[in-house]
Homo-oligomer: A and B are copies of this chain.
Amino acid sequence: ANTTEPLRFAAKPNFVILIMDDMGWGDLGIFGEPNKETPNLDKMAAEGILFPDFYSANPLCSPSRAALMTGRLPIRNGFYTTNQPGRNAYTPQEIVGGIPDSEILLPQLLQANGYRNKIIGKWHLGHQPHYHPLRHGFDEWFGSPNCHFGPYDNKLTPNIPVYKDADMAGRFFEDYIITPSGESNLTQLYIEEATSFIEQQAQKGQPFFLYWAVDATHEPLYASRSFLGTSRRGLYGDAVRELDHGVGRILQSLQKTGLANNTLVFFTSDNGAATYAKTSGGSNGPFLCGKETTYEGGSREPTIAWWPGTITEGQVSRQIGSLMDFFTTFLDFADIEPPSDRILDGISLREALLNNSLTDRPVFYYRGDLLMAIRVGQYKAHLWTWSNSWSEFQNGSGVNFCPGQEIVGVTTHDQVNHTSSPLLFDLGADPGEKYVIRPQSAVYKQQMPLILATLQNHLDHLKPGDPQLNMCDSAVMNWAPQGCEKLGRCLPVPPSSPYKCDWPH
């Protein structure tokens, strides 16, 4: 190593992503949640910069997180399905696919440049060993490869493992308990893991990337005993309150260790609130529908950036942002060249963060393999509309992605093709996508050509990645995760029998 190396290291900022699971834009006090139960996040916003126009790259966990890690749309990095058109797909236990080795992940690039990276919580980019975070740039892991669905009986379906680095440390509902009433100390464990890692890195003086991917607001909801019953919003609110507390603890830890001035922290969420879960789901504020959909409620995320001394406090940025921008922004601040052999969808938010300046950029709203909508400026055009299917909507379970909301011709229960005359909305005057702008109007004639040109440019350069979410097989489930032998927790693996996954919506 030459003599300038240590200086370069010291100059490299730390990065923290606090990413929530299924938390909605409207779940924070600062974003208008009427119970105002997020004092730490509201304070973080007052000390940092608020991004009301920030988006996930997809309305569902896995593709959203794959996009974050790669800086690329799921249609490029393979996190989608072609089994049926326009279907949301993710990485349940039976999924065969995961993040391809050909993709370059943010932690890989940071690791190669001297960063130590830790993921705490949910990975969701594939659970077979070659997809694990430690194979893709992370140095440490405490958390699970899949959603903490359950409880299962560990027979037909194994309980989800919790990993400590490369080895399983136990399983959900066995070692990591969530009681039927929603009591669990998991968020506390995740907070401790985060603050310990920060203290460890502070002592080492080594730059780090902490990815805090907690999941208490994803069903099954949970909170610690001391938070249970404390929210006016029920268990969902208890979970939010504990996560808000956790954010406070983590920022405090950065301040106590003296790292705050050299650490860029983003708070955000992976997709819109699960409105179909009714009062067990969060709030998307004034936006339409939620998770699984390409209306604003599906992917508008409550986002705050914080970097004391570098970001001027109490700002609001009108920058249209994306989870994919973390990739490009962090590389920019760390002075690392982004890959030049592939299209990146993220942009650098450096100027937005430092000077509150604005960069034009479109938003592409995909659902599976189908480009459903585009936003350019404050206008959004729907090429396709679909909430969920009639059969799902009308059957006994009554799944509804837009409960209490119905916009005729917009929240459709068929996949409706509007490509010949896209449905245009003004997200400034009409953030709830209620009032279609008529094709005869001047504004339509002015805006639509810009949007269609953006669409054409996008399609001209699009080479869809190999779809990773087509095939399922019960043999790939978490029967015998590495480390199970030491714990005596290996389960017999059934014979392989691959089949096309069925994605209902």
Contact = CB atoms under 8 A, between A and B. Distances in A.
A232 B379 CA distance: 11
Contacts of A318: 36
Interface centre among A32, A314, A406, A407, by most chain B C-beta atoms within 10 angstroms, is A32
A280 to B, nearest CB: 9
Contacts of A30: 30
A52 interface: yes
A23 to B, nearest CB: 15
A403 B434 contact: yes
A22 interface: no
Nearest to A288: B404
A46 B318 CA distance: 20
Given A316-B29, A434-B278, A428 B36 contact: no
A435 B279 contact: yes
A48 interface: no
Contacts of A287: 34
Nearest to A404: B434
Give how many copies assemble into the complex.
2
Interface stretch (A233-241, A323-331, A359-367, A388-396): A233-241
Nearest to A278: B435
A34 B431 contact: yes
A21 interface: no
Contact of A286 (B32, B236, B288, B426): B32
- The size class of the interface chain A forms with chain B is 35 or more
Interface string A5-30: 00000000000000000000110011
Contact of A406 (B32, B50, B316, B404): B404
Interface in A172-194: none
Interface string A206-247: 000000000000000000000000011110110000000000
A424 to B, nearest CB: 13
A300 B430 CA distance: 20
Interface centre among A318, A407, A429 (most CB of B within 10 A): A429
Contacts of A407: 404
Contacts of A139: none
A53 interface: yes
A118 to B, nearest CB: 33
A279 B429 contact: yes
Interface string A97-109: 0000000000000
A142 B428 CA distance: 34
A32 B52 CA distance: 9
A285 B34 contact: yes
Contacts of A300: 34
A31 interface: yes
A430 B279 contact: yes
Interface in A46-95: 46, 50, 52-53
Nearest to A317: B36
Nearest to A25: B34
A252 interface: no
Contacts of A195: none
Contacts of A467: none
Q: Which 5 pairs across A and B sit closest by C-beta, in order of nearness?
A: A32-B32, A232-B428, A404-B434, A234-B429, A279-B429
18 contacts: A31-B32, A32-B33, A34-B285, A34-B300, A34-B427, A35-B52, A35-B431, A36-B316, A36-B318, A46-B314, A232-B378, A233-B428, A234-B426, A278-B435, A279-B426, A286-B286, A288-B404, A404-B405
